[in-house]
Amino acid sequence: MSEEVFDVIHKSLDGRARTGVLHLNHGDVQTPVFMPVGTNATVKALSKDDLEEIGFEIILANTYHLYLRPGSSLIEEAGGLHGFSGWKRNFLTDSGGFQVWSLSKLRKISDEGVYFASNIDGSRHTFTPENVVDFQVQFNSDIQMQLDVCTGYGIDRKEAAEALRITGNWLKRAKERWLIKRNEGYKGILLPIVQGNFFHDLRRESAEFVNSLDLPAVAIGGLSVGEPREEFAAMLDYTTEFLPENKAKYVMGIGTPDYILDAVHSGVDMFDCVLPTRNARNGSYFTKDGNLSIKQERFIHDFSPIDRECNCKVCKNYSRSYLRHLFKEQEILSCMLASYHNLYFLNNMMKEIRQAINEDRFEQYRVDFLKRFRAENIL
C-alpha cells in the first residue's frame, strides 16, 4: 500500500468536485490548485517573492530544460531546486516526455528510452525511466513524474496502443528506481501518467494498470494536445471514472478558466499551464468578463483598472492606459505586471472554487462564471 499523501476535505453534493489537502515535503497544498509553470526554475517575469505574495504553494519546473542547462549535478550541488532558486515551497518537475515528444525530428523512442538531440546545441542524449528518476532526485523534487510517451490528437489506435505499452513498461522501471531512492532518503513522490490517447478502451486499460501499482497520486496525460474542448472534457470525465477517490489527480497542461472548471467538475485536483504567463507577455489579461487585449486603441484614454473586481496590486495601482503604454513600448514591466495579474486572477479563482465546493454550490458557480467569462462584456 502506498503512503497516503492526500486528504479529501469535502465532496460536492452535485458532482465529483472536491476539496482536499496534499501533504508534501515542503508544506501542504490546498486543492483544487493551479500550479504556475517555472520551466527553468523560474516563473517568467516574476520573482519568488511575487509568487509567495500571491499565495502559491507549489510551482513546476522542467526536467528536460534543467537537465540540459544548467545540469542536474549543479542543481544538486546547490541544494536541489529549493536551494538553487530560493523557492522554499513545493516543486513538481515533469519528466521531459512532452518536450521530447514535441521535438519529433530530433528524437527516437525505443523500449529502452528516448534518444534525442538537444534543441540548444544538437548534442545527443538519452532519457530512460531510471535516469529521469535520478535527475529529479538530484533536483529534490517534491513531486516527480514518470517518463512517458506522449501522443498527439488524431493518431491511429495502433500507434496509441504501442505508446501505451512503452509507457507502462517505463512506469514499472521508474517505480523500481524511485523505491530505491526512497530507501536512500529521498522524500519526493512519483506520479504515474495515464495515457491511451482518445481511445476509451486504452484509457481504461491504462487507468487500471496505474491503479495496480498503487503510487501516492495519479496524473492524466495525453489531453489538451490539440483536440476540441468538448472531446477534452468528455475523455477526461471518462478517465477519472476509473481512478481512485482517495488519491490526488493531476491533469497536465491546462490553464484557462473553462478547462480548469471542466477538470474540477470531473474530480481533478491539480493543473498547470504556461498560457497565463505566455498570454501576459502578449498583452492579454484575464478578467471575469473575458480576456482583455491591452494593445487595443480603445484603452489609450482609459484610466480604469484592468478588472474593477480584482484586488491584486496591478489593478489597485495601474490603469489600462498606462499598461497599454508599457506594452506598446515593449517595457519589461509590462510582462511583469501582466504575469502577476494573470496568476493572481487564477489563484483567486481557485480560492473561489474551493469555497464553492465546500458550500455545495460549485456547479452553479461554474455555470455563472463561464456565462460571464464567455460573454466578454469588457467595458
C-alpha 336: how far from chain center: 20
Query: How many helices and strands (H and E) does the chain possess?
Result: 15, 17
Query: Distances from the Cα of 310 to the Cαs of 45, 71, 234, 287, 347, in angstroms?
Result: 20, 40, 32, 8, 12
Amino acid identity for residue 310 in this structure: C
Amino acid identity for residue 240 in this structure: T
Q: Give the separation between CA 324 and CA 310, rounded to whole angstroms.
A: 18
Strand ranges (E), 221-296: 249-251, 270-273, 284-287, 290-293
Per annotation, catalytic residue among 50, 148, 272, 307: 272
C-alpha 171: how far from chain center: 20
Give the long-range contacts of residues 304-310, CB within 8 A, separation 24 or more: 306/341, 307/341, 307/345, 310/341, 310/344, 310/345, 310/348
CB-CB neighbours of 317 under 10 Å: 10
Angle, in degrees to the nearest 10, between helices 200-213 and 229-240: 40
What's the CA dihedral at 183, 187, 188, 191 to 10 degrees? 50
**Which residues partner with 292 through β-bridges?**
285
Amino acid identity for residue 301 in this structure: H
Give the number of C-alpha atoms closer than 13 A to the C-alpha of residue 346, restricted to the C-beta side. Answer: 32
> 126: closest CA among 138, 114, 135?
114
Active site residue 94: yes
Q: Give the separation between CA 100 and CA 230, rounded to whole angstroms.
A: 27
Active site residue 14: no
Radius of gyration for the chain, computed over Cα atoms and rounded to the nearest angstrom: 21
Per annotation, catalytic residue among 94, 148, 262, 307: 94
> 231: closest CA among 204, 197, 192, 256?
197
Q: Give the separation between CA 19 and CA 12, rounded to whole angstroms.
A: 8
Query: Distances from the Cα of 260 to the Cαs of 60, 137, 222, in angstroms?
Result: 17, 29, 16
Active site residues: 94, 272
